[in-house]
Amino acid sequence: MPSASDSWVSQIRKGVVEMAVLSLLAERERYGSEIVETLKSHPELAITGGTVYPLMARLKKSGVIDSSWRESPVGPPRKYYRLTATGRAQLSEMASAWHGVSKTIDGLLKGID
Partner 1 sequence: MSLTDFNQLPAESAAAVAAYLDAVREALSDAAPALAGETVEDVTTHLLEALEPGDGINVVRAVLAELGDPADYAEAVDASAAIDETPAAIDARTKRVLGLPYEFRVPTAERVASRWWDPSNPHVFVPRVFGIGWDLNFGALAVRFGWIEPDAEDEPFASTPESAFMACLMLPVALFAFVVISYAVTVASLPTRLPVHWNLAGHADNWASAEWAFMPLALFAGLSTLWAAYSTVRDRPRLLRGAVTGFAAFLSGISAAVWALTLFTVAGVESVWLPPALILTSAFVAPLLVLTVLARTGRRAEIERDLRGARQQ
Identify which of residues 61 and 110 has a Cβ nearer to partner 1 in the complex: 61
CB atoms within 10 A of CB 26: 15
Minimum gap (Å) between residue 54 Cβ and partner 1: 5
Give min distance, CB of 55 to partner 1, in A: 6
Rank residues 26 and 53 by Cβ distance to partner 1 and give the closer one.
53
Residue 91 in contact with residue 23, Cβ under 8 Å?
Answer: yes
Q: Which is nearer to partner 1, 10 or 96 (CB)?
A: 10
Helices (H), the chain: 2-27, 32-40, 49-61, 85-109
**Residue type at position 18:** E
Nearer to partner 1, 18 or 26 (CB): 18
Closest separation in Å from C-beta 77 to partner 1: 5
Three-state secondary-structure class, residue 45 = helix
CB 2, min distance to partner 1, A: 13
**N-term to C-term CA, the chain:** 18
C-alpha span between 70 and 93 (Å, rounded):
30
Q: Which residue ranges make up the site for partner 1 (CB under 8 A)?
A: 10, 14, 17-18, 32-33, 48-51, 53-58, 60, 67-71, 77, 79
